[in-house]
């Protein structure tokens, strides 16, 4: 590991000033991703700004029914929080499938938003990777692609985004709050992560000197009956081959509202807008679910080893919506 300076920030103002004065600085909270990347010599910060002492550790109910989640809320606490489990069960379920208990006890909400790809070529410094070294090429193209993306890819990168939590947040219309010495701003979660295009090394809309302070969830009554389904090679905390975060409202046998997001299939948490459009106003039937899933996956582009993800994603969407329909009818 390379030598680096360490700064402990007692408050948000100190933290953002510290990172603004050092262009190669990084914030560290739980460190469950950054420390690994530093050990692998992929991240090489000159300064690490420790933010674990900042007052960003609360889950707060907002007027009107929304929730504000501090950036330093641990994943384990988020998943167990009664308000989250009751109003947004899809988020609690996604977090619980995302990592072992030990990791959830350390990982933070803000860190989860910023975690980087688990593409094996990204971690292999002998391989060409545009995400790690811009304009170096992409050895995943024509390589081992079973875990790679089928939606939103480019000629520069086909890596998938690793987060489960972010898939649920995308379905829930979450908003990310960030702060810097220039002030604060709000970024919709669906716009927070970027598609690779020609610049896969630019992964989010957040500037290097901005600190995530919170994630806000809007009031969303249909989210009270929501589900996260994750398909993976093993049940013991593997990354998703395909995952689905879904919420649906049915009135008089017709889908009146739907929220869908996919994981494991794209370089960012994938909001399934085409499927949502196909669902709303359609009969709440398996046939409608299949049509919606097929519409979402129609633009998919497979590599040599991951074509199975297209059908798997369609089937997982249908299975998740079927479960929601059954649970809604029972209620």
Q: Which two tokens stand for residue 13?
A: 């103002």
Tens-place pLDDT, residues 216-238: 999 999 999 999 999 999 887 88
All domains of the chain, ordered by start, with CATH?
5-53 (3.30.43.10), 230-330 (3.30.390.50)
Q: Reply yes or no on whether the pLDDT at 330 is more than 60.
A: no
DSSP one-letter string for 159-192:
PPP--SHHHHHHHTT-EEEEEETTEEEEEEHHHH
62-111 confidence digits (pLDDT tens): 999 999 999 999 999 999 999 999 999 999 999 999 988 888 999 999 99
Closest by Cα among 188, 43, 40, 62 to 113: 188
79 phi and psi angles, rounded to 5 deg: -65, -30
- Report how far residue 173's alpha carbon sits from residue 180's, in angstroms, rounded to the nearest whole number: 23
Determine which of 78-82, 179-183, 289-293, 325-329 has the lowest per-residue pLDDT on average. 325-329
Q: How confident is the model at residue 329 (pLDDT cuts 50, 70, 90)?
A: low
User: CA separation (Å) from 290 to 257, 273, 320?
Assistant: 17, 15, 11
The token duo for 1 is 């590991």
Report the predicted TM-score, pTM, of the whole model to 2 decimal places.
Answer: 0.96
């Amino acid at each position: 590991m390379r030598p680096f300076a360490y700064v402990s920030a007692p408050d948000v103002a100190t933290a953002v000033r510290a990172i603004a004065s050092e262009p190669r600085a990084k914030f560290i909270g739980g460190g469950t991703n950054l420390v690994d990347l530093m050990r692998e010599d992929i991240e090489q910060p000159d300064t690490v700004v420790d933010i674990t002492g900042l007052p960003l550790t609360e889950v707060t109910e907002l007027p009107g029914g929304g929730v504000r989640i501090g950036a330093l809320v641990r994943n384990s606490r988020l998943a167990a929080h009664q308000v989250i489990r009751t109003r947004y069960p899809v988020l609690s379920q996604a977090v619980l499938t995302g990592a072992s208990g030990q990791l959830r006890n350390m990982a933070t909400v803000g860190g989860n938003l910023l975690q980087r790809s688990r593409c094996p070529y990204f971690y292999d410094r002998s391989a060409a990777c545009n995400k790690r070294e811009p304009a170096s090429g992409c050895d995943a193209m024509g390589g081992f692609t079973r875990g790679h993306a089928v939606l939103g890819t480019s000629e520069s990168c086909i890596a998938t985004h690793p987060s489960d939590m972010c898939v649920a947040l995308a379905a829930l219309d979450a908003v990310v709050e960030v702060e810097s010495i220039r002030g604060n701003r709000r970024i919709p979660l669906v716009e927070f992560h970027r598609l690779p295009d020609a610049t896969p090394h630019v992964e989010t809309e957040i500037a290097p000197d901005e600190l995530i302070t919170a994630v806000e969830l809007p009031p969303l009554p249909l989210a009270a009956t929501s589900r996260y389904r994750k398909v993976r090679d093993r049940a013991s905390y593997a990354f998703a081959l395909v995952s689905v975060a879904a919420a649906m409202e049915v009135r008089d046998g017709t889908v009146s509202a739907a929220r869908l997001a996919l994981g494991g299939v794209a370089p960012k948490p994938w909001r399934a807008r085409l499927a949502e459009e196909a669902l709303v106003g359609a009969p709440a039937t398996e046939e409608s679910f299949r049509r919606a899933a097929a519409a979402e996956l129609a633009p998919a582009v497979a590599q040599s080893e991951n074509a199975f993800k297209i059908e798997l994603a369609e089937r997982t969407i249908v299975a998740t919506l079927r479960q929601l329909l059954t649970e809604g009818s029972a209620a």
